[in-house]
């Protein structure tokens, strides 16, 4: 009887085993073995050689996440206060670029930012430039923000639309100014959306490789580029690539656990 009740979950279990558990096992296996299959921790220790790449990836990921948060927070709040029909229209505008292929959207930014691109042509028309925008860290951050901004807006909007307008009006009637309403009402109530948005933007930003390759020109190597080189580049080394992937996975899991712990502490503080 118990077996029959769990039978509908069989496809999900098979899916998890085939596409999550087995790949994770293979990553762990290659990370701790050498070419002959013998156990070693040399691959893990070699990851330390790429410390600057890790630091650059985390730094650019944090900058992109912060920019997305600053842009998305007021936008999501304004959107949540619109009429229902207008909210649906704005939501369609947010989702519309995501209907286009991720690679094509990044290619479009290449043509805009290059030396003879549209932005430099417009700048030259008014007597400015040309500016070096492509193949810079700023271009990489711009690509991250453009591609991942919707992942920050959507969770914030989902939380903010549930905030009753009367709560804000009551705080204003009691003498709270704009900053008081933001710090005492909006920010605490929207922290679940902030936490989800940060996670959804930071994780792909810190591990991306297409954006850094196309907009960074290969000069701004990130963790994703480093992993790809170990599996597809001339320096084929799946053991080292697996070790880097394992360290990145642990770092991301620790970051998510820290954010979740922070969110739980804030929620408990609000309840008490």
24 and 130, same domain (yes or no): no
Does 206 lie in the same domain as 178? yes
Structure tokens at 80: 């949540």
Whether the link from the prior residue into 130 is cis, omega within 30° of 0, is yes
177 and 249 inside one domain: yes
228 and 193 assigned to the same domain: yes
Cα–Cα distance between 147 and 102 in angstroms, integer? 8
CA–CA distances in Å: residue 11 to residues 5, 8, 17, 146: 13, 7, 10, 36
Query: d(Cα 190, Cα 64) in Å, to the nearest integer?
Result: 20
Regarding whether 22 and 132 lie in a shared domain, the answer is: no
Does residue 143 sit in the same domain as residue 17?
Answer: no
Would you give the DSSP letter of residue 1? -
Structural domain including 99 reads 50-271
pLDDT at 272: 47
DSSP bridge pairs for 33: 39
pLDDT per residue, tens digit, the chain (272 aa), is 555 667 777 888 888 888 889 999 999 999 999 988 899 999 999 999 999 999 999 999 999 999 999 999 999 999 999 999 999 999 999 998 888 888 889 999 998 999 888 899 998 888 887 888 999 999 999 999 999 999 999 999 999 999 998 998 898 888 888 889 898 999 999 999 999 999 999 999 999 988 998 998 877 789 999 998 898 867 789 999 999 999 999 999 998 888 877 666 555 555 44
Please tell me whether residues 207 and 165 are part of one structural domain. Answer: yes
Task: Please return the burial class of 105, using the count of CB atoms within 10 Å of its CB with bins 0-12, 13-18 and 19+.
Answer: middle
Dump pLDDT digits (tens) for 96-125: 888 888 888 999 999 899 988 889 999 888
Determine contact, residues 120/130, Cβ cutoff 8 Å: yes
* DSSP class per residue in 190-232: HHHHHHHHHHHHHHHHHH--HHHHHHHTTSS--HHHHHHHHHH
Nearest partner of 245 among 271, 223, 218, judged by Cα: 223
Enumerate the β-bridge partners of residue 39: 33
Q: At which residue do the structure tokens 């296996």 appear? A: 29
Cα(164)–Cα(241) distance, integer angstroms: 49
40 assigned to some structural domain = no
pLDDT at 271: 46
Structural domain count of the chain? 2
- The reply to whether 66 and 132 lie within a common domain is yes
- The answer to whether position 57 is within a domain reads yes
The reply to whether 41 falls in a domain is no
Distances from the Cα of 154 to the Cα of 41, 94, 148, angstroms: 42, 9, 11
pLDDT score for 215? 92
Question: Does 182 reside within a domain?
Answer: yes
Query: What pTM did the predictor assign?
Result: 0.89
* Residue that has been written with the tokens 């009551």 in this structure: 170
Written as one string, the DSSP assignment of 149-195 is HHHHHHHHHHHHTTS-HHHHHHHHHTT--HHHHIIIIIHHHHHHHHH
Q: Identify whether 124 is part of a domain.
A: yes
Q: Do 164 and 256 fall into the same domain?
A: yes
- We report the CATH number of the domain holding residue 161 as 1.10.3720.10
**∠ CA(174), CA(178), CA(179), 5° rounding?**
105
* 118-161 per-position pLDDT tens digit: 899 998 888 887 888 999 999 999 999 999 999 999 999 999 99
Cα(104)–Cα(113) distance, rounded to whole angstroms? 14
Q: In this predicted structure, what is the pLDDT of residue 97?
A: 86
Pair 118, 90 in one domain: yes
Listing DSSP states for 77-113 in one string gives HHHHTS-HHHHHHHHHHHHGGGGS-HHHHHHHHHHHH
């Amino acid at each position: 009887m118990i077996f029959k009740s769990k039978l509908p979950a069989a496809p999900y279990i098979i899916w998890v085993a085939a596409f999550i558990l087995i790949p994770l096992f293979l990553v762990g296996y290659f990370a701790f073995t050498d070419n002959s299959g013998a156990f070693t921790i040399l691959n893990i220790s070699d990851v330390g050689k790429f410390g600057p790449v890790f630091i650059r990836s985390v730094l650019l990921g944090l900058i992109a996440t912060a920019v997305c948060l600053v842009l998305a927070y007021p936008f999501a709040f304004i959107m949540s206060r619109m009429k229902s029909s207008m909210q649906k229209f704005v939501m369609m505008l947010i989702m519309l670029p995501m209907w286009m292929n991720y690679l094509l959207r990044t290619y479009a930014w290449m043509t805009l930012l290059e030396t003879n691109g549209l932005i430099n042509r417009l700048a030259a028309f008014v007597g400015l430039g040309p500016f070096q925008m492509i193949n810079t860290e700023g271009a990489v951050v711009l690509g991250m923000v453009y591609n991942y901004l919707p992942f920050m807006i959507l969770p914030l909007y989902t939380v903010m639309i549930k905030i009753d307008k009367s709560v804000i009006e009551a705080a204003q009637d009691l003498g709270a100014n704009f900053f008081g309403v933001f710090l005492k009402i909006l920010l605490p109530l929207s922290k679940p959306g902030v936490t989800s948005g940060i996670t959804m933007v930071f994780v792909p930003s810190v591990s991306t490789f297409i954006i850094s390759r196309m907009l960074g020109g290969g000069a701004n190597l990130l963790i994703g580029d480093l992993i790809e080189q170990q599996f597809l580049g001339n320096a084929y080394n799946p053991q080292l690539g697996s070790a880097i992937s394992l360290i990145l996975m642990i770092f991301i899991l620790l970051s998510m656990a820290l954010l979740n712990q922070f969110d739980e502490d804030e929620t408990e503080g609000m309840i008490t």
